[in-house]
Amino acid sequence: MASSKGGGGGSSPMIRVAEMERMSIEQLKAFKEQTDLEVNLLQDSLNNIRTATGRLENASSALHDLSLRPQGKKMLVPLTASLYVPGTLDDADKVLVDIGTGYFVEKTMAEGKDYCERKINLLKSNFDQLIELASKKKTVADEAGAVLQARLKQLAPAT
């Protein structure tokens, strides 16, 4: 199989234009559809990472704000996104961190902030890698579309 176009990356090798030109029209259409689907899935993943990063940044900001409040301070505690109940800050140095699938771990304020920052950095790293992969896949899809258009143009009767 040919080497990857543009240096590679991802789990499947990229296909060169010369290889696309040897494909039948049906194969080319199927390849373009598959590549477009992969690009859409990568875009969905990028949106999910963007959303998760925003939530973690909000949590990190909330932890910072919480650390500045004195013990015994009265405040509204969110139970859901739109439901708050009155409460009193008992111990601002201990927080519960949602580590996923309904599990919470008690951590100190510093550990909670560190957890958020590590997760944000991990998500940003994954985001950058997915952007690069999506860009390469989009280029391949565009090339496949161009080859397909050229092939269909050749088959069309001259008028």
Q: What is the pLDDT of residues 10-40, one digit of tens each?
A: 434 467 777 888 888 899 999 999 999 999 9
Q: What is the pLDDT of residues 80-122, one digit of tens each?
A: 889 999 998 888 788 888 888 989 999 999 999 999 999 999 9
How, if at all, do strands 103-108 and 94-100 pair? Answer: antiparallel
Average pLDDT, the chain: 86
Largest CA distance in the chain: 84
Distance CA 37, CA 42 (A): 9
CATH number assigned to the domain with residue range 26-152, chosen from the 4 options 1.10.10.10, 3.40.309.10, 1.10.287.370, 3.40.50.720: 1.10.287.370
- How far, in Å, CA of 105 to CA of 141, rounded? 44
What's the pLDDT score for residue 132? 94
Residues 27 and 141: their CA atoms lie apart, in Å, by 13
Q: Which DSSP category does 79 fall into?
A: S
